[in-house]
Amino acid sequence: MFAVAAILAYKIITEIDILFNAIKQIWRIVTPFFYGFLLAYIINIPFGGIEKLFGRSKNRVIKKLKRLLSAFITIIIFALAIFLILYFAIPYIHKIISFFMASLPGYYERTLQYIDVFNSMEMFGIHISKENIMSVLQDVIQNISIDNLLSPINALFGVSSAIFTGFLAFISSIYILTEKEKIKAFLCRLLGAFTPDTFCNATIEYAGKLNRNFKQYIFIQTIDSCILGTIVTIELFLLRSPYALLLGIILAVLNYIPYFGSIIGSGIAIIIIAFTQGIPMAGIAALVLIVTQQIDGNIIQPKLMGGSFSVSPLLVIISITVGGVIGGVLGMIAAIPIVAVLKNMLENIIVHFEQKKIKSL
C-alpha cells in the first residue's frame, strides 16, 4: 500500500497538468447538476412549507401527489417572481440610465470641483491631475459601443452551452426536489455500508445540523435583507436621492455577505450620493447609514438569529475570508453555517476527551 501510494504521489506531482485538466473536465460535466442542486436547495425552503400544507389535507389524491404538486407550485411562484422583477426592473433601469446620462455633465463639473478642493488642501503631498483623469475618461468613452455593452449578455445568453447548462440545471433541480427522500436514503445506506456505525451516525447528525443551519441562515438573511433594504430605501428617498430604490436593492443583496456586505453597500451608496448630491449630503447619508447598520447589527439580527450562530466576530471574519478565497461569494455566504457546525464538532470532541481524561484519573 505504501509503494502504491508513493507511485501515485509521484505520478500526480510529475503529471499535475493532466490532473488539473481531468478536474476541469469533470467539473464541466457536473456543473449543471451542481447548480441544479443549489437551485433545488434554495427552492426546497418554501417547497417544504407548501408540502406540509398539502400533507394536512384530507384528500387522498392530494396527499399522494403532495410532493409533485408542491414542486410545481414552488417553481411557478419562483418563475412568477422572476417575471415580475424583470417586468418592473427593466423600465426602472432604463429610467435610471436615462436620468444618469442627462445628469452626467453636472456630475462631471462637481467632480472637477472636488478635485480642486482636494488639491488645495495639499493632503500628504498628493496632487490629482485633471488632465490625466480627462484622458482616461475619454479613452473609456471612446471604447464604449453597443457591441461592448451587449457582449456580456451575448456571452451569457448567446452561447448554446450556457443555455444547455441552465436548462439541465433547472430540470435536475425538479428531479432532486421530487426524489430528495430517495436520494437521502440512498446516501445514508451507502455511508452505512462502507463506514463504522459510530462514524455513520455522527456524519448523519452533523449533516442534519449543517442543513438546518443553512436553511435558517438563508431564511434569516432574507428577512434581514428585506428589512434593511426597505429602511435604507426610505431613508435615501427622504434624503432626495434619485437612486434611492436602486441603492436600497444593492445593499439588500450585498447584505447576504456577513459583516462586509452591508459595509460595501453603504460605501457604494455614500460615493454615489457624494457625486450626485454633494459631499454635505453624503456626510448626512453616511451618518444615517452607520446608525441603521448599528441598529440592524445589534438589535434586528440578534433578535432574528437568537443563539443559533453564537460565533465570535473574529472567527466570523476569519471564516468569511477563507470562504471567499475558496468559493468566492458563495463561500463567504456559506462560511458562518459551516463554521458553526465545525465549532460544535470541536466542542463535542473536546468534551469527549475531557471526560475520558477524568475517567482515567
Give the Cα separation of 164 and 170 in Å (integer).
10
Q: Is residue 288 part of a domain?
A: no
Q: What is the pLDDT of residues 74-106, one digit of tens each?
A: 778 877 877 887 777 777 777 777 877 777 777
Q: Is residue 52 part of a domain?
A: yes
Domain membership of residue 91 as a residue range: 12-104+159-178
Burial 93-122 (b: 16+ CB within 10 A, else e): eeeeeeeeeeeeeeeeebeeeeeeeeeeee
Q: What is the pLDDT of residues 123-151, one digit of tens each?
A: 666 777 767 766 766 665 555 544 454 44
Quick one: pLDDT at residue 234?
A: 92
Q: Is residue 19 part of a domain?
A: yes
Quick one: pLDDT at residue 279?
A: 80
Of the CA atoms within 13 Å of residue 182, those in its CB half-sphere come to: 6
Q: Is residue 49 part of a domain?
A: yes
Q: Is residue 143 part of a domain?
A: no
Give the Cα separation of 343 and 340 in Å (integer).
5
Q: Is residue 287 part of a domain?
A: no
Q: Is residue 69 part of a domain?
A: yes
Q: Is residue 33 part of a domain?
A: yes
Of the CA atoms within 13 Å of residue 96, those in its CB half-sphere come to: 14
Tell me the whole-structure pTM to 2 decimals.
Answer: 0.68
Give the Cα separation of 267 and 250 in Å (integer).
11
How many domains are contained in the chain?
1
In this prediction, the residues of the chain whose per-residue pLDDT falls under 50 are: 145-147, 149-159
Quick one: pLDDT at residue 159?
A: 45
